[in-house]
Each structure stands twice: as C-alpha cells, then as structure tokens.
Structure 1
Amino acid sequence: MAPLSKEELLQHETASDCFICGEPFPSPLDDSVIVQHMCKVRDHDHILGTYRGAAHMNCNLNYKIPNFVPVFLHNASNYDFHLFIQDCCSDVISQNEEKYISVSAQICFDTGRTSEEMDSGHSDADPKRLDLVEDKEVDDDQVNPNACLDSYRFMAGSLDALAKNLEPQQFVATRKVFPNSEHFDLITKKGVFPYEFIDSYEKLEETVELPPREQFYSSLTETAISEEDYAHAVNVWNAFKCYTLAEYSDIYLKTDVLLLADVFEAFRKVCQDTYQLNPCQFYTLPGLSWAAMMKYTKVKLELLTDIDMLHFIRRSIRSGVAGCIQRHATANNPYIPARELLNEDFAHLTYNPEEDMRYLLYVDANNLYGSAMSQYLPHLNFKWLSPEEISNFDIMQQCNDHNSGVGYILEVDIAYGQELQDAHDELPFCPENITPPIEGKRQVKLIPNLFNKKKYVLHYRNLYQAIQHCLKVDKIDRILTLGPFTKSHTILIRCLGCDGNKELYCVEPALNQSNWLQPYIDLNTKKRQAAKTHLKKTCISFLLMLFLENAWRPWKNYKRSRGAKSLIASPHFHSLSIFNENFVAIQSHQPRVYFNKPVYIGFSVLDISKTTMYSFHYDYIKKLYGNDNAKFLYTDTDSLIYSIKTEDVYADIKKNISKFDTSNYKPDNPYGIPLVNKAVLGCFKDEACGRPMLEFFWSSIQAIRLCVGRQ
C-alpha cells in the first residue's frame, strides 16, 4: 500500500462511517471482541496500491477482487452448457442432471505471436484469437478463469422479446458495430436461421442463396417461420450482400451477441442505478434480489440455531393456493356485445334479458407478496412459550394487533364445524400440504379442505382470521414467539448481516417484529411506477418477486470428492449420467445442509398473503353478494375468478372503489368508473380491463379459456 498523503490521512482520521457499507464505526473505547471486527482500517486497491477509504475490518476483508470473468449466454442452461461440459469445463454448479447454473472453463488469450513480433508490433496472427485450455502449457498470465452464466436466469424471455423492450438509444454495442442506419434497423431484430437444414460444414460454404422458407422448419416447435420473419431474413441477406450461408451465419451470430450485450447492459444499468449492485457478480436473479434487499434495509436477521424451531417452520411453508372449483360459466348482462359483433364461435353468448343477470369477474391482487412483505415481519428474538404461558394465552386478545412488535407462530388443533361446510366449501381456511386422496396420485399438493386439523402450524394473523370466520381451536400445542425478553440484558445473537456474513452481534432486548422490509418494497414500487421503459418495469417486478426464493430455500453446501469410484461407492450416491467413455456426471445426495437463510420470512410472507385473498373472498365478495349469488370459479395464488349474480357488477366496483385498482380502465369507460389506485398494494385489478367477460372454461391447470369482449 502506498503511503497516505496528508489529505488522505486527514480523511481517514475524520471518517465516521465505513465507505463500503455506510455503517458508523464503533467507539474506540469499546474493546469487546465483536466490536474489534468492526474497527476502522485502511482499505486500498490491491492492484494499484492506492488508498480507497476507511472501512470496517470485516468489510475490508470481504471486499475482494472477483477471481473470474463472467461470460453470459442466453438460455445456456438448456442448450450451450451441454456442449461445454464435455469439452472444456473445469467446474460445474448444477441444478439437476439436465440443467446447470454455471460452467467454469479456463480460456487462454493466445495472441499467436512470437516475442519478436510482439516487440515489433507486426504479426499476421489474429490478436483476438481465443483458445480453450485443455492440456496446453501456457503462462499463468495468459489464462483467465471464466464463469459461463445463463442470462436467462436474470432476464426470462426470448432474446427477441427482450430486444423489443429496448429504446433505440439503448442499442449502444449494436450501433458501434453497425453505424449504417439501414443495417442497424435490420440488426435490432432477432434473426432466423435454418438450424435443421445445416447438417455439415460444407453446406455453409456450398449454399449460395438463402434456403427457402420450408427449410426453416423446427421439429422442436413443429412450426415454420412466418412470412414476415422470412422476408426479414431475405432483407438481411441482400443488405449485407451475403454470398454464402456461412456469411449469413456470421451476421446471425453477431446479431445475437450484440443484442444480448445491449439487453444485458440495459438490465445491468437498472440494477446499478437502483440498488448499486452489479448483476455480473451473481449467479441468478434471486441471489441478486436478496443482496439488494439486505443492502438497502441493513437489517440484522436472526438465524435459527434451534433445530426444533427450524423444522417447526420449514414443514409448514405453504405456497399459494391454486385450483378450479367450477369448470365452466357464462355471463348474461347488457354489456355483452351484440351478436353481429361477436365471433361465430361466441354467437350463442349474447345477452338474454329473460334470464338472470350474471357477470364474470377476473381480479388480480396488486403485488400480493409485496403487500405481505410490507407488513410487520419477524427478525429477532425467537423463543418457545412455556406450558404455563400457553395455558394463559388468549388468541383473540393477543393476536388482534397486526402492527404489534410481538408476533406468534402457533401449532394448534382446529375443528372445522359441520355448520361451516356449505359456507366454506369453495375456499376452506387453513390449506394443507397433503397427498390427494386419489388412486395413483402420490405428489404432495396444497389442498384447501374441510377436515379437522391436528398440529397445524400457522401465522397468528391467519389463525385470528380463521377464528373470526367461526373455526374453533380445540388445543394449542406449541407457540413460537418473537417477543421481547423479560429481563433487561444484552444478548448475543447469530445473525445474517447486510454483507451476507454470519456473525455474532450484540443485541439489546427489542421487539421481535417490525415492518423492516417496507422501505425496500416502497423503493421498488416507486421505481416501477416511475420507469419509462418496459424493460425497467419488468426487471424491478421480477427482482421483487424472486426475493422470496431466498427467504425459505436453504443454501446447500456441496461436499466434493475426487474420483468417480469414491463418489459411486459413497452412501450418498444418487445417480449418474454418462457423456462419453472418459466423462461422467455423478449426482449425490447432500451429506450436509446448512440452513443459513431466515426461513421464517418466507413462511410469514406466504401466510400473510393468504389473509389478503381470503379477506377479499369472504369479507367483500361473499359479504356483498351472499353465498348463492357469488360462485367461486378459479384461483391461482394472487388471482380470483367469480360468476356473480347482480344487477351491475361495475356499479358495485364503483361503490367500493377503495378496494380496486382501476388504472387499466379506459378514461371514457361506459361505467363512469374513475381511474384510481394505480399499483396500490393490496388493491385488486380487473384483468379484463373493464371489458365484459363472456365465458370461462377450464380444462387443465395449463389451459384456461377466457372470452373477453370480442376476443
């Protein structure tokens, strides 16, 4: 490290906050072991040797230069990685036998020049030629470890669809390579290529004209390209004066690379501007989202060290409810278009004034998980209540304040009374992860049911809601509270800090839960509302949604063994995939799992989100229309579809406008509904955008037919 100048020395001495994490330095008078890790040190650039700033000791030790160069390929998990893994990979992070998260390879930047040529600066060799390192003897400074990553894990969607979301000024790399306006306009659209037509290298050179449209057929999708896409290919061939298919192939590949570069750079800029994080240092979007949350909130999350607490919560994590209650329904109301305006297939769906008025309503909760994450969530001070405390526990009194600093996770026996069967048969409370009672069905599903529950674990807000709707608690088995400690003393808690490290922290007795995540949710909501490009809106939405993946899925530590024989002989052996006679991939059960993520966050968010859906169903729809007039048709986590018997469902929406986001309605809509509550958390949006739905038909979980307006 170079000696500090007077200005740098003064800056270091007067610095009160760490320039890396932004947290203050502890008092120099405090000499505890924990505080020593947070003391002020000089951080410097390990390449240039220059002073960068004052930092915590921990931050300084973790502030490292990446030891790899990220190489991004789009949808490589499904395609390219299968080619790399046999020939050039030195390390693999796999998701399963078929999909890989990352493939690492050593790449030699071989200039192909002698020392004399390098000194003279003249050579006929290609200075940009890259060779994969297999068993070559090369200098260490010529080799770069590369992590090949899948950009699809950050930006889900086809490259063509992603490129369409870019503004013209965002095609920076493409514009540099193709400054000609005519060429640029052609290149900014994803090209097409006759993959199955090419069955040899010779065809690339021998084919001197663009193959006919029929040769672009894909047996994978069982479709041919459209006439518009083929016309685009013809224009590219002519504009770039291609003489062989090999030249067209070069243009096609160059287009792919440039489009991916521009799309990923646009995504990277969104992440750096919003969260000051570089996505190139992450493997997947959920990991990036988690880091963004921890960095912005600076929250200290307690890691559970009691195995009973851990399993108590993990076995009770339930995802969103999805299912169909009634497979088919039709509407009958004056808003249905006249017969002559309907497609022939829907001509029978015209309004019949002699029958009862009925509407189909398809609503979706605005950012359901974001709304739940804005509520009070646990983060510190978990403990079991004693049997005496449980016997004196009053659920309705102690669980009625949703904004209290004290929360509970309860294990209870619940009785579902016979008198509730009819009222709750469409959407029963307290869904369970069970195997369907159908012959041949073995996969566990989340199923709402009317059975009594034994040792059912749920968040206190869900239990309070269920009791309000007449479910009865027969017995309280256990209660995990996140409450404040009764004695006033300082405690040591193992926490996950904003730098991702697990450390012991001094924590004063404090309330167990707060809305610590709300600032992060508000930041994303405001950024999304202010976003001017579709790409930025989509990026922020996915970052917020995928944050939950890290909130309940534990990271696994892979214990490696060298040699196929030892891995196959291991009791943890699962299966193997043979690529060739010298290469085999072996899948093993994990001998050790580290639960180093706060699973209670995912549990709480998933349970609280259900209270929003159940409240809308029971406290609004059923309360307003009654059980007979409102038929529940379908749900999928954050969406609900109803068949409602009423005079005018849009008039009802207008009367209860505070519950709805009507920003997607036309300003001159025929119902006179104002456009309000845009993207407001917890509000419900009409997915038909104010157009009357004609028919609902469900055939499977992947196939739903909705007839809306004239479509």
Structure 2
Amino acid sequence: MMIRKGVYPYDYTDGPAKLEETQLPSKEDFFSTLTGDHISDEDYAHAQRVWKAFECKTMRDYHNLYLESDVAILEDIFEDFRNICLKHYGLDPAHYFTSPGLAYDAALKTTGVRLELLSDPDMLLMLERGTRGGVAMISHRHSKANNPYMANYDSTQQTKYLTYLDANNLYGWAMSQPLPTGDFEWVEPEEIDGILSYSDDNEYGAIVECDLEYPQDLHDDHNDYPLAPENVEINKVRKLVPHLGKREKYTLHYRNLKMYLDMGMKLTKVHRIIGFKQSPWLKTYIDLNTRLRAAAKTDSEREFFKLMNNSVFGKTMENIRKRVDVRLVTTEKQALKLVAKPNFDRRVVFTENLVAVHMKKTKLKFDKPIYLGACILDISKLLMYDFHYRFVRKTYGDRARLLFTDTDSLAYEIQTDDFTRILRHTCRKNSIRPTIQPSTPPASPPA
C-alpha cells in the first residue's frame, strides 16, 4: 500500500483549517488546477484505504503520513541510485549538482585519461568558431507517398515511399572515435598534404582553418544536403546553414575535410592548423554504459545508463561564456547599484520586494576541454553525410529526395518498386549502414 506514490488534494488544502477536518475530502476535491485533471477512481480508492488502514482521525494525520511516505520512497530511490553509481563508477552522486558533472567525472575515472587544457587563446577562439551543432532543415516542403502498402495506392502513378530514418546513438558513435587528448601545437599550412593522408585512427589528428569552394557541377546533386554547414548571421541571429557558396576561414576536423574533398569540394587555401594527439579513449566508457544498459532489469536503470552517455557529451559542450552571477536583492537601492554596473545583463522581478539581477562574469577561466565538443559534433556529421551520399544517393540516385533532416534523422522520398527489400539487402552488405534504420517499419500490404 505504501510503496506507491500517495494521493493528495493539493489545491483543496489551502490553509491550516483544512488539516483539522475529520474525514477524507471528496473525490472532486482532489482536482488539480496544475494538470487540469481529476484523480481516477482507483487513486481515490487507494486514498480511502490508506485513511482507514492507518486510522487517520484528521486530515493532519493523512497529511503527515503522505509526507513521510513520499520522503521515504524518494529516499529509497535515491539510495538505490547512489548504490548503482558507487558500484559501477566509484562515485557518489550526492557530491554532484548535475548529471553532466557526474557523467564527466565518471568518464575520466573509468578511462584514466589525462586531458590537456588549451593555453593558447588563439587556439581557443579558433575551436570556438569551429563548434557547430547538428543540421536541422527542410529541403522539400511537400511529398506524397504512393505504394502497395497504402489502401489508396494508384498503380498508374509512380511508386513512392516516404521513410523517416534515425541514427542509433549518433553521439555515442562519435564519442567512440579517436578524440584529442593533448600535445596541441600549431602546424605549418604547408603540411596539409601529410595531414590529409592521416588515417581515421592515426595517432595524431588536426583541426584545419581553410577556404573551400563548392564546384558548380555539384550544386544539383548536393542541393538537398550541402556539405560543410556554416554558422551564418541572418537578421542578427546566428543559424547553422548548409549552403553551396564559398567557405572562408572555415574550421573543421581533418576527417571532415578529407570527406568533403573526396566528395568534390575544392580546398583553395589553408590558413592555420592545430595538431594534436588522439585516441579512442572515451570508447571504454561508452561501451561500459552500453553493456550496463543492455543488462539493466528496469526501465529506470536503462534510462540512467543512456543518460550517462548523453550527459558526458553535454559536458564537453559546456560554454563558460554563458555563465552568470545571479544576485537576489530586496531593496531599490541594491537593485540600482547592480544595474549601474557595466556587466549588468538583465533582471527578473518576482515581487515588489524581490528581484533577481543577472550579472555577466567579469573574469572567465577556460578550464574545460572544449575541443572535445567541437570534434564530436564534426565527426557525427561524417556518419550522416556518409549514409546520404554513399548509401542512399549511390543506391537510388535522383530517385531519392531528402525531405528534411534534424541532427540524427533523415526523411526521404524514394521512387522504387520495393524500397524495404532493397534497403534490407543493401544494409546487410554495409557494416556501418545498420546504425541508421527506419524509425517505423511500413505496415503490411493490404490483402
């Protein structure tokens, strides 16, 4: 009876007087204005059983029992959470504010890696400019399926399939690739040919700042999903834009540069190169959580181990520049004093006697390996572009149109007589391709 979440009339209990009532409120009194719902008959029956079993005399008795059981359940859950972390990572989550902080330390402790921090401000700024998120765009706004799996299939028209594909664990895959660990140094631009000969798992890697051109003869073929997306300011808002124009002082991972050149883009100038030592050091941690998730016996454990992989990526993307100091003030004099300072950002008024004043940091300590986030984001694009150009376009040519994409997903219109048969056949012959699979299999064809 007490191992489930209790039932409480939050809105009804609006003052101490309600706690002196000698009977359980009616079912209607358990209505929640927050959710806009009444409780179920089952929940109300549970509340009645609790009232009777624990011989509650007043609502105060029920109130105290509810709080005690709620805290006890939370305590059990949190202690179980602590035990899991201590068992698998040797870390106590009670010492952390957020899951990214816990996951990041767990990754460092599990792998034993020692990451070098950047000390050259020019390297830092170059890597910040090269940090770009996932591509989200609509290439074609309208498409209509027509295939034998549909009830209204028209055999006189072109057979078309619409499919939504999702990359399984995209960032987990990228984090398992060779990533920088240290030995950062400037490399002469003349060394670019040697860098382009590096293998994907070479002991050393590089970040390149260069100029690129998109040849005119690639425009039609690449129009749906242009390579090398660029952060562009549009109407005073920075947006990640895939386009077919030139790239100037474009910063990217050497593996991305190799792919883009292999697909036809032209390298016109190399400005700067940062060399570094690399290894797939994070793979040990990613694989550990993948195994633990597969062996988990509850949904909460499975979600936790998934979170521990996703959260460590979030920590590699931490932007120190966005940190703020928040001062709570209770007088006009205090507020005006802070507002007058040059690092004042904004204020949030809670009441006439309480205001939160947001102040920008006057000093920043860049003590995070931001190069990890930049490399993970770039490397993740390799899989998406590889799948689109070397699988979908290679298999279907102009019969495949990319409708839209959002970071780790791709939606296509494909003209073929039997899309599912061809997809399965081609996936079996490509080891990397099954990492992207249809989110929802097509329904069985009509009888």
Q: 1:240 to 1:560 in 2, by over 3 A?
A: closer
Give the structure 2 partner of residue 458 of structure 1: 252
CA contact (8 A) 2:231 2:239 kept: yes
Give the structure 2 partner of residue 209 of structure 1: 24
Give the alignment's TM-score, normalised by structure 1.
Answer: 0.57
Whether 1:685 and 2:444 are equivalent positions in the alignment is: no
Q: Which one of 599, 615, 627 corresponds to residue 370 of structure 2?
A: 599
Q: 1:622 to 1:400 in 2, by over 3 A?
A: farther
Give the structure 2 partner of residue 638 of structure 1: 408
Give the counterpart letter for 2:164 in structure 1: Y
Q: How far is 1:658 from its partner?
A: 4.0
Q: 1:643 to 1:260 in 2, by over 3 A?
A: farther
Whether 1:335 and 2:153 are equivalent positions in the alignment is: no
SS in 1 for 2:172: helix
Q: How far is 1:238 from its partner?
A: 4.7
CA contact (8 A) 1:552 1:602 kept: yes
Give the counterpart letter for 2:392 in structure 1: I
Give the structure 2 partner of residue 393 of structure 1: 192
Give the structure 2 partner of residue 356 of structure 1: 158
SS in 1 for 2:212: strand
Q: How far is 1:193 from its partner?
A: 3.0
- Following the alignment from structure 1 to structure 2, what is the Cα–Cα distance between the partners of residues 681 and 594? 42
Q: How far is 1:649 from its partner?
A: 2.2
SS in 2 for 1:454: strand
Give the structure 1 partner of residue 264 of structure 2: 470
CA contact (8 A) 1:330 1:360 kept: yes
Give the counterpart letter for 2:255 in structure 1: R
Give the counterpart letter for 1:692 in structure 2: A
Q: How far is 1:393 from its partner?
A: 2.6
Instruction: State which structure, 1 or 2, has the greater radius of gyration over its C-alpha atoms.
Output: 1
Give the counterpart letter for 2:435 in structure 1: C
1:370-393 deviation digits (Å, cap 9, x = unpaired): 11111111111111123xxx2353
Give the structure 2 partner of residue 377 of structure 1: 179
Q: How far is 1:645 from its partner?
A: 1.8
Q: 1:560 to 1:250 in 2, by over 3 A?
A: closer
- Following the alignment from structure 2 to structure 1, what is the Cα–Cα distance between the partners of residues 112 and 245? 43
Q: Which one of 229, 232, 245 corresponds to residue 431 of structure 1?
A: 229
Give the counterpart letter for 2:370 in structure 1: V
Give the structure 2 partner of residue 310 of structure 1: 124
Alignment of 1:108-147 (within 5 A): none
Please, what is the CA RMSD of the aligned residues?
Answer: 3.0
Q: Which one of 194, 214, 218 corresponds to residue 416 of structure 1?
A: 214
Q: How far is 1:319 from its partner?
A: 1.3
CA contact (8 A) 2:325 2:359 kept: no
Q: How far is 1:444 from its partner?
A: 2.0
SS in 2 for 1:594: coil
Q: How far is 1:227 from its partner?
A: 4.7
SS in 2 for 1:434: strand
CA contact (8 A) 1:411 1:455 kept: yes
Q: 1:307 to 1:197 in 2, by over 3 A?
A: same
Q: 1:226 to 1:417 in 2, by over 3 A?
A: farther
- Following the alignment from structure 2 to structure 1, what is the Cα–Cα distance between the partners of residues 118 and 73? 45
CA contact (8 A) 2:328 2:355 kept: no
- Following the alignment from structure 2 to structure 1, what is the Cα–Cα distance between the partners of residues 444 and 377? 30
CA contact (8 A) 1:462 1:611 kept: yes
- Following the alignment from structure 1 to structure 2, what is the Cα–Cα distance between the partners of residues 276 and 427? 44
SS in 2 for 1:362: strand
CA contact (8 A) 1:553 1:599 kept: yes
Unaligned runs of 5+ in 1: 1-182, 337-348, 483-511, 661-676, 695-708
> Does 1 or 2 have the higher relative contact order (CA < 8 Å, sep 6+)?
2
Alignment of 1:259-278 (within 5 A): 259-278=73-92
Give the structure 2 partner of residue 672 of structure 1: none
Give the structure 2 partner of residue 656 of structure 1: 426
1:417-450 deviation digits (Å, cap 9, x = unpaired): 22222211221111122234xxxx5432222222
Q: How far is 1:555 from its partner?
A: 4.7
Give the structure 2 partner of residue 517 of structure 1: 282
Whether 1:295 and 2:109 are equivalent positions in the alignment is: yes
- Following the alignment from structure 1 to structure 2, what is the Cα–Cα distance between the partners of residues 377 and 650? 36
- Following the alignment from structure 2 to structure 1, what is the Cα–Cα distance between the partners of residues 429 and 42? 44
1:18-76 deviation digits (Å, cap 9, x = unpaired): xxxxxxxxxxxxxxxxxxxxxxxxxxxxxxxxxxxxxxxxxxxxxxxxxxxxxxxxxxx
Q: How far is 1:352 from its partner?
A: 3.3
Whether 1:249 and 2:14 are equivalent positions in the alignment is: no
CA contact (8 A) 1:659 1:683 kept: no
1:135-169 deviation digits (Å, cap 9, x = unpaired): xxxxxxxxxxxxxxxxxxxxxxxxxxxxxxxxxxx
Q: 1:398 to 1:442 in 2, by over 3 A?
A: closer
- Following the alignment from structure 2 to structure 1, what is the Cα–Cα distance between the partners of residues 429 and 168? 11
Alignment of 1:224-239 (within 5 A): 224-239=38-53
Give the structure 2 partner of residue 622 of structure 1: 393
- Following the alignment from structure 2 to structure 1, what is the Cα–Cα distance between the partners of residues 45 and 433? 45
- Following the alignment from structure 2 to structure 1, what is the Cα–Cα distance between the partners of residues 375 and 42? 50
Moved more, 473-482 or 262-271: 262-271
Give the structure 2 partner of residue 481 of structure 1: 275
Q: How far is 1:207 from its partner?
A: 6.7
1:106-126 deviation digits (Å, cap 9, x = unpaired): xxxxxxxxxxxxxxxxxxxxx
- Following the alignment from structure 2 to structure 1, what is the Cα–Cα distance between the partners of residues 396 and 109? 46
Q: 1:200 to 1:658 in 2, by over 3 A?
A: same
Q: 1:204 to 1:356 in 2, by over 3 A?
A: farther
1:533-570 deviation digits (Å, cap 9, x = unpaired): 22221111101111022213255787899994764553
Q: 1:350 to 1:244 in 2, by over 3 A?
A: farther
- Following the alignment from structure 1 to structure 2, what is the Cα–Cα distance between the partners of residues 285 and 693? 42
Q: How far is 1:631 from its partner?
A: 2.0
Q: How far is 1:464 from its partner?
A: 1.1
- Following the alignment from structure 1 to structure 2, what is the Cα–Cα distance between the partners of residues 620 and 569? 59
Q: 1:218 to 1:460 in 2, by over 3 A?
A: same
1:242-282 deviation digits (Å, cap 9, x = unpaired): 45443333333233222322222222222112111110111
- Following the alignment from structure 2 to structure 1, what is the Cα–Cα distance between the partners of residues 142 and 444? 13
Unaligned runs of 5+ in 2: none
Whether 1:445 and 2:239 are equivalent positions in the alignment is: yes
Q: 1:643 to 1:559 in 2, by over 3 A?
A: closer
Q: 1:282 to 1:198 in 2, by over 3 A?
A: same
CA contact (8 A) 2:131 2:377 kept: yes
Q: How far is 1:323 from its partner?
A: 2.8
Q: How far is 1:239 from its partner?
A: 4.5
Whether 1:365 and 2:164 are equivalent positions in the alignment is: no
Alignment of 1:661-680 (within 5 A): none
Q: Which one has the bigger helix percentage?
A: 2
SS in 1 for 2:273: strand
CA contact (8 A) 1:317 1:602 kept: yes
Moved more, 249-258 or 543-552: 249-258
Give the structure 2 partner of residue 73 of structure 1: none
Q: 1:235 to 1:447 in 2, by over 3 A?
A: farther
Q: 1:429 to 1:207 in 2, by over 3 A?
A: farther
CA contact (8 A) 1:384 1:481 kept: yes
Whether 1:534 and 2:269 are equivalent positions in the alignment is: no
- Following the alignment from structure 1 to structure 2, what is the Cα–Cα distance between the partners of residues 632 and 692? 22
Give the structure 2 partner of residue 544 of structure 1: 309
Q: 1:581 to 1:353 in 2, by over 3 A?
A: closer
- Following the alignment from structure 1 to structure 2, what is the Cα–Cα distance between the partners of residues 238 and 635? 56
- Following the alignment from structure 1 to structure 2, what is the Cα–Cα distance between the partners of residues 229 and 412? 64
